[in-house]
A and B are shown apart, each in its own frame.
Chain A
């Protein structure tokens, strides 16, 4: 067994602009075989851009080396353990990539007629069905392109549902253990957010919801399991409380990795849920996407789903665009199709039993880490957790070591830090989500390193303050970067 980040042979690399040498280029365009046009003679002056000063003149090999070298500075789930809580950074089996790159999918034109796209339409239709089955919902849209986009889609449907009933509602109840994006999505959809606090054990209580629930409240929006990694065990009673006043229940499905195949949200009174395909269903995640956030709904909300959707008639598939009460499109074309292919491949490969086993293993791994580390790190909610566990820096803060120092030191040992300072209900939180894809050996290495860091915090706190030391850059000045952001390259510091 080997521990520690490797000091690899990564190369120094300047900015691409700094590689520029005037007149150098990667391609020699062929001579024009049509008459040349001078732009300023045919295009109005106001629409013309001045020259592109500062645009780098580089050879093809410069460009290839530049980006290859930068990629070697990167850390991804293909390089090492990535226990980022609340994010489900699990390994994406390469067969999903293989499926998505099949030319029949990858090179499909979005305007190709239905008779040439039967396979793609069937995949979309069946994926909707699988997601409905997994969540216990009645209908699904695949359009939204990320989790928060899915939230917005669900909220817009709920808003349309109440308008359609002739009694618009303007409030959404959100507990402090819900996902961070929920209040923002609610505000964007035109709702006022009513916050409620979880009780001492990190769970939402039905009484807390009952106190604020009224007939102007459209829904309660909760995350289950919540951002503390705990299962909201009162969800059924909470749903009943909300339903009694005619409200709806939205569940943020970002943490579905812990419950898929084990339980159905639909059976617990949830009316609307988004799936983060890029988290739970093993498609690439991070680096800005593309993501995919399909939304599942119960029957009463189904008329409001965005269109178009794939439909099946006999053994023929088609796209249906008309639905009088639809909220309209959420995305151009049909959503991020290649992500759907990956999720489809993942679900088909695992099957019902495999999906359940993935969730069970994710829970087991998180509890394993929690039990092994709870003597070394403070565990604010010492209870059975789901797919992630939350520690704090309380023990280490006695010697002046903070969560940030622990996170930075982990980098030296070759691990990506967990989520830090979130959820906000825990001071100095360290949120660890190992996922089901890691081996016992990797988990044990991580645990050993975390114990070692706890020991270092006791004996040599300065060591942690100076970390990371094995990386290309050590501590960056996050404060200055936030206060005086430099968002654009400038030659010698001035405008190019």
Chain B
């Protein structure tokens, strides 16, 4: 299982990458593996507001429906519509093609309370 070092991770199994004021958000390899085949994803509209630690969407697999939690606050700059039509991308390429939303962050964009790849790996080991 892969956990790219340039990303930050949440306890709810989302990843985030910050480029300037734009944060790209998706779910982790561990999350897609636990969920199993993803069959449906619901994302917020462009321009909508997201709040740190609050749900911004829903991902549904053959096993369960889970909320997606935003690691940052801000407004949705871009939505990956491609994964709505082909949710299997979330299983195939969770860190690449299957990014979910890009957020224009409000405030300073401080990600220091999120986990590094190493911390996240430890976290999921404990969670198992």
Complex interface: chain B residues within 8 A of A483 (CB):
39, 87-88
Q: Complex: how many Å from CA A421 to CA B61?
A: 11
Given known A427-B34, A427-B128, contact A479–B64 (CB-CB < 8 A): no
Q: How far is the CB of B27 from chain A (nearest CB, A)?
A: 15
A199 at the interface (CB under 8 A from B): no
Count A-B pairs with CB separation below 8 Å.
Answer: 23
A208 at the interface (CB under 8 A from B): no
- Cβ of B62 and Cβ of A478 under 8 Å apart? yes
Q: Which partner residue on chain B sits nearest A479 by CB separation?
A: B37
Complex interface: chain A residues within 8 A of B40 (CB):
482
Q: What per-residue 1/0 map shows which CB atoms of B8-37 lie under 8 Å from chain A?
A: 000000000000000000000000001001
Q: Which partner residue on chain A sits nearest B67 by CB separation?
A: A195
Which residues from 36 to 86 on chain B have a C-beta closer than 8 Å to any C-beta of chain A? Answer: 37, 39-40, 60, 62-64, 66
- Cβ of B39 and Cβ of A479 under 8 Å apart? yes
Complex interface: chain A residues within 8 A of B34 (CB):
427
- Cβ of A422 and Cβ of B62 under 8 Å apart? no
A63 at the interface (CB under 8 A from B): no
Tally chain B residues at the interface, Cβ within 8 Å. Answer: 13
Q: Complex: how many Å from CA A422 to CA B63?
A: 9
Q: Complex: how many Å from CA A478 to CA B63?
A: 10
Q: Complex: how many Å from CA A482 to CA B40?
A: 8
Complex interface: chain B residues within 8 A of A420 (CB):
63
A263 at the interface (CB under 8 A from B): no
- Cβ of B62 and Cβ of A482 under 8 Å apart? yes
Which residues from 407 to 431 on chain A have a C-beta closer than 8 Å to any C-beta of chain B? Answer: 420-422, 424, 427
- Cβ of B66 and Cβ of A424 under 8 Å apart? yes
Q: How far is the CB of B100 from chain A (nearest CB, A)?
A: 18
Q: How far is the CB of A187 from chain B (nearest CB, A)?
A: 12
Complex interface: chain B residues within 8 A of A482 (CB):
37, 39-40, 60, 62
Complex interface: chain A residues within 8 A of B63 (CB):
420-421
Q: Complex: how many Å from CA A452 to CA B87?
A: 37
Complex interface: chain B residues within 8 A of A427 (CB):
34, 127-128
Which residues from 76 to 128 on chain B have a C-beta closer than 8 Å to any C-beta of chain A? Answer: 87-88, 127-128
Complex interface: chain A residues within 8 A of B39 (CB):
479, 482-483
Q: How far is the CB of B107 from chain A (nearest CB, A)?
A: 23
Q: How far is the CB of A483 from chain B (nearest CB, A)?
A: 5
- Cβ of A479 and Cβ of B62 under 8 Å apart? yes
Given known A479-B39, A482-B40, contact A424–B64 (CB-CB < 8 A): yes
Which residues from 47 to 95 on chain A have a C-beta closer than 8 Å to any C-beta of chain B? Answer: none
Q: Which partner residue on chain B sits nearest A484 by CB separation?
A: B39
Given known A427-B34, A482-B39, contact A421–B87 (CB-CB < 8 A): no
Complex interface: chain A residues within 8 A of B128 (CB):
394, 427
- Cβ of A421 and Cβ of B64 under 8 Å apart? yes
Complex interface: chain A residues within 8 A of B88 (CB):
483
Q: Which partner residue on chain A sits nearest B66 by CB separation?
A: A424
Q: Complex: how many Å from CA A394 to CA B34?
A: 13
Complex interface: chain B residues within 8 A of A394 (CB):
128
Q: Complex: how many Å from CA A421 to CA B40?
A: 17
Which residues from 393 to 411 on chain A have a C-beta closer than 8 Å to any C-beta of chain B? Answer: 394
Q: How far is the CB of A401 from chain B (nearest CB, A)?
A: 14
Complex interface: chain B residues within 8 A of A479 (CB):
37, 39, 62
Complex interface: chain A residues within 8 A of B66 (CB):
424
Q: What per-residue 1/0 map shows which CB atoms of A426-458 lie under 8 Å from chain B?
A: 010000000000000000000000000000000
Complex interface: chain A residues within 8 A of B62 (CB):
478-479, 482
Chain B CB within 10 Å, residue with most, of A394, A420, A424, A482: A482
Q: Complex: how many Å from CA A482 to CA B39?
A: 6
Q: How far is the CB of A182 from chain B (nearest CB, A)?
A: 14
Q: Complex: how many Å from CA A421 to CA B62?
A: 10
Q: Which partner residue on chain B sits nearest A485 by CB separation?
A: B39
Q: How far is the CB of B24 from chain A (nearest CB, A)?
A: 25
Q: How far is the CB of A402 from chain B (nearest CB, A)?
A: 9
Seen from chain B, the residues whose Cβ lies within 8 Å of a Cβ on chain A are: 34, 37, 39-40, 60, 62-64, 66, 87-88, 127-128
The contact sample of 17 A-B pairs, CB cut-off 8 A, is A394-B128, A420-B63, A424-B66, A427-B34, A427-B127, A478-B37, A478-B62, A479-B39, A479-B62, A482-B37, A482-B39, A482-B40, A482-B60, A482-B62, A483-B39, A483-B87, A483-B88
Which 3 A-B pairs give the minimum distances between C-beta atoms?
Answer: A482-B39, A479-B37, A421-B63
Given contacts A427-B34, A427-B128, 4 further A-B contacts (CB under 8 A): A420-B63, A427-B127, A479-B62, A483-B39
